[in-house]
């Protein structure tokens, strides 16, 4: 902030506060950065020294409080320490630090993102990030299909309109093959990103032919949300299999009382297409004939191998029949229900279960009026035909367009590192996001206390349940998803039987692969 604002906030006489502020600058507790080209005015920022001093003070206060409330360290019972004893050893992530030199970008930093809660949090924190990077930030947000169209349209321009773009993970192969994205190792040392800190599935999904083309900004698996209180009152265990999902949905389904069993993505096209690919994976089969490995299927060689479409199969038919069964216990508008619509009735208490990405959890977790607030459990997808339970990974990576102007590349790279840093990820969570791509952030005590979703997703990652193979990022995947969503929608409407829907989807997908 400015010196005047800081002095005003101190609540002490101007001369006293000004003298104290000068002392803090001299002692290296406050950094000054020029606000204008003339260098006559400055903004004030906490220095590394001040942040470290504050953290040391906080640790001392915590130790003193611990001793006062539960006795000396090591005393029996101290493990039950009042605000998170099991996480006491976890390292707390400090606040973001300003860059030593402001980024030099004519017209400011231009970012293209998806219009979801996490990126909207970034928009609300724009002023804070502008202080960190030292340049104005201009963010544009689109729906998922329009975002892809804008990225491809931007690639045709001589010079990119955007310095950083958000990329849905299944698009990686297509955008790389079309020359839209720069490989990360061509613009920075990947070690600066600490790749081992990212959830394995999220980091792997940003790769094509062995090279990373984006940095995970959010790793948001699709899970099954369920009302713990309603299940407990009914004496029903959380579902592990697809049959158990159907039994629970049938138990709670009561349309005459305005209550329905379950909500999911069933809108025609992209939404239902994603649902079918994930449901296919719930029955133990990927959309391609990928080689089977421990924990699932190997999707690391998509760029160098030719794979065949695998839709019209025994497990594909089981997945289609499961969707037809779900339809019986769904709200009446289910065939137009997509990403956000499926969570709204769950948040309002109309349904006890919903398939949804964790990025949608703020709609009920942070709404104290929602019956689901504080009463939601998070499960990996229940499975069928004896398959392993998995949590299909979704989310977005931040990437740099190939046609970025050369004089903007360095600044864009530094901003990319800032936006995806542990400090930034924690800040998003503190301001309403419930997605996170990093292990270190999930282990932060404050993050853990903010929602059980972080511990749940972290556990799924350690158990290798987070997987990206259900939506393999091949160049044709967007069209294949759309085709599946069209044919399966006709099946759900009763226009064609499941066998015909699968056969038509198989044939159309094979044609896409050939052309």
Q: Give the whole-number percent of the chain exceeding pLDDT 90.
A: 77
Confidence of residue 251 (pLDDT cuts 50, 70, 90): very high
Q: What is the DSSP annotation of 160-200?
A: -S-SEEEEEGGGHHHHHHTT-B--GGGTS-GGGG-GGGB-H
What is the predicted pLDDT for the residue at 68? 65
Q: How far is CA 317 from the centre of its chain?
A: 30
What is the predicted pLDDT for the residue at 67? 67
- The C-alpha torsion from 416 through 419 and 422 to 423, rounded to 10°, is 130
Is the alpha carbon torsion for 446, 449, 453, 456 positive or negative? positive
Query: Listing from the earlier edge strand, what are the strands of the sheet with 137-142?
Result: 137-142, 109-114, 164-168, 395-399, 215-219
β-pair type (466-467, 391-392): parallel
Looking at residues 23-43, what average pLDDT do you find?
A: 83
pLDDT digits (tens, 9 = 90+) for 374-403: 999 999 999 999 999 999 999 999 999 999
pLDDT digits (tens, 9 = 90+) for 252-268: 999 999 999 999 999 99
What is the predicted pLDDT for the residue at 413? 98
Separation CA 290–CA 472 (nearest Å)? 9
Looking at residues 467-472, what average pLDDT do you find?
A: 96
Confidence of residue 52 (pLDDT cuts 50, 70, 90): confident
Beta bridge partners of 222: 357
Separation CA 336–CA 330 (nearest Å)? 12
Going from the C-alpha of 480 to that of each of 165, 169, 510, the distances in angstroms are 23, 15, 9
Confidence of residue 310 (pLDDT cuts 50, 70, 90): very high
Count of CB atoms situated within 10 Å of the CB of 55: 13
Looking at residues 222-232, what average pLDDT do you find?
A: 98
What is the predicted pLDDT for the residue at 84? 40
Separation CA 357–CA 220 (nearest Å)? 6
Separation CA 134–CA 103 (nearest Å)? 6
Confidence of residue 5 (pLDDT cuts 50, 70, 90): confident
Is the alpha carbon torsion for 411, 417, 423, 426 positive or negative? positive
pLDDT digits (tens, 9 = 90+) for 475-485: 999 999 999 99
CB–CB of 291/300 below 8 Å?
no
What is the predicted pLDDT for the residue at 80? 44
Mean pLDDT for all residues in the chain: 92
The domains of the chain, with CATH numbers, are 3-87 (1.10.10), 109-219+394-462 (3.40.190.10), 222-390+476-514 (3.40.190.10)
Q: Of 497, 307, 277, which is closest to residue 390 (Cα–Cα)?
A: 277
Which of 48-52, 145-149, 213-217 bottoms out in mean pLDDT, i.e. has the lowest? Answer: 48-52
pLDDT digits (tens, 9 = 90+) for 145-178: 899 999 999 999 999 999 999 999 999 999 999 9
Separation CA 447–CA 440 (nearest Å)? 10
What is the predicted pLDDT for the residue at 221? 96
What is the predicted pLDDT for the residue at 40? 75
Looking at residues 25-54, what average pLDDT do you find?
A: 83
β-pair type (292-293, 222-227): unpaired
What is the predicted pLDDT for the residue at 65? 74
Looking at residues 41-48, what average pLDDT do you find?
A: 84
Q: Helix H segments across 352-497?
A: 362-365, 406-419, 422-430, 439-442, 445-450, 452-462, 477-492
Q: What is the DSSP annotation of 78-104?
A: GGG-TTTGGGTTSPPPPPP---SS---
Separation CA 299–CA 292 (nearest Å)? 9
Q: How far is CA 277 from the centre of its chain?
A: 19
Instruction: Please list, in sequence order, all residues whose beta carbon lies within 8 angstroms of the beta carbon of residue 160, skipping any fewer than 6 positions away.
Output: 154, 401, 402, 403, 404, 405
pLDDT digits (tens, 9 = 90+) for 331-380: 999 999 998 899 999 999 999 999 999 999 999 999 999 999 999 999 99
What is the predicted pLDDT for the residue at 246? 98
pLDDT digits (tens, 9 = 90+) for 75-104: 444 444 444 444 444 568 989 989 989 999
What is the predicted pLDDT for the residue at 70? 55
């Amino acid at each position: 902030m400015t010196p005047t604002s800081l002095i005003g906030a101190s609540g002490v006489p101007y001369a006293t506060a000004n003298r104290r502020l000068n002392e803090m600058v001299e002692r290296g507790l406050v950094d000054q950065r020029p606000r204008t080209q003339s260098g006559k005015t400055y903004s004030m920022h906490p220095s590394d020294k001040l942040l470290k001093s504050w953290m040391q003070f906080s640790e001392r206060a915590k130790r003193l409080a611990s001793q006062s409330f539960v006795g000396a360290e090591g005393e029996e019972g101290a493990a039950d320490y009042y605000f998170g004893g099991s996480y006491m050893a976890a390292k707390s992530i400090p606040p973001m630090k300003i860059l030593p030199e402001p980024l030099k970008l004519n017209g400011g930093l231009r970012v293209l993102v998806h219009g979801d809660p996490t990126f909207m949090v970034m928009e609300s924190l724009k002023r804070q990030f502008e202080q960190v990077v030292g340049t104005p930030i201009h963010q544009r947000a689109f729906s998922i299909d329009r975002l892809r169209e804008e990225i491809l349209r931007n690639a045709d321009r001589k010079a990119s309109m955007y310095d950083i773009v958000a990329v849905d993970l299944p698009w990686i192969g297509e955008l790389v093959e079309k020359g839209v994205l720069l490989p990360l190792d061509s613009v920075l040392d990947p070690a600066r990103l600490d790749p081992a800190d990212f959830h394995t599935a999220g980091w792997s999904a940003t790769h094509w032919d062995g090279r990373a083309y984006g940095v995970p900004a959010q790793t948001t698996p699709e899970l099954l949300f369920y009302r713990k209180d309603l299940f407990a009152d009914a004496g029903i265990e959380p579902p592990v299999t697809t049959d158990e999902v159907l039994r629970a949905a049938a138990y709670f389904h009561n349309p005459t009382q305005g209550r329905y069993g379950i909500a999911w993505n069933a809108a025609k096209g992209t939404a239902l297409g994603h649902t079918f690919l994930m449901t296919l994976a719930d029955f133990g089969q990927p959309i391609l004939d990928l080689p089977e490995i421990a924990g699932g299927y190997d999707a690391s060689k998509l760029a160098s191998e030719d794979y065949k479409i695998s839709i019209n199969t025994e497990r594909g038919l089981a997945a289609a029949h499961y969707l037809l069964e779900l339809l019986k216990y769904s709200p009446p508008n289910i065939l137009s229900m997509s990403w956000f619509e499926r969570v709204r009735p769950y948040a309002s208490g109309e349904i006890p279960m919903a398939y949804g990405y964790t990025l949608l959890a703020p709609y009920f977790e942070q709404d104290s009026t929602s019956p689901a607030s504080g009463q939601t459990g998070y499960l990996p997808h229940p499975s069928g035909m004896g398959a392993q339970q998995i949590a299909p990974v979704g989310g977005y990576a931040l990437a740099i367009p190939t046609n970025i102007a050369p004089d903007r590349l360095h600044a864009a790279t530094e901003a990319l590192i800032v936006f995806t840093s542990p400090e930034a990820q924690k800040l998003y969570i503190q301001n309403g996001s419930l997605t996170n791509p990093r292990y270190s952030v999930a282990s932060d005590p404050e993050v853990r206390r903010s929602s059980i979703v972080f511990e749940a997703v972290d556990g799924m990652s350690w158990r290798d349940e987070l997987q990206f193979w259900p939506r393999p990022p091949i160049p044709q995947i967007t069209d294949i998803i759309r085709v599946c969503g069209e044919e399966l929608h006709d099946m759900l409407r009763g226009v064609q039987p499941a066998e015909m829907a699968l056969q038509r989807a198989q044939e159309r997908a094979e044609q896409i692969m050939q052309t």
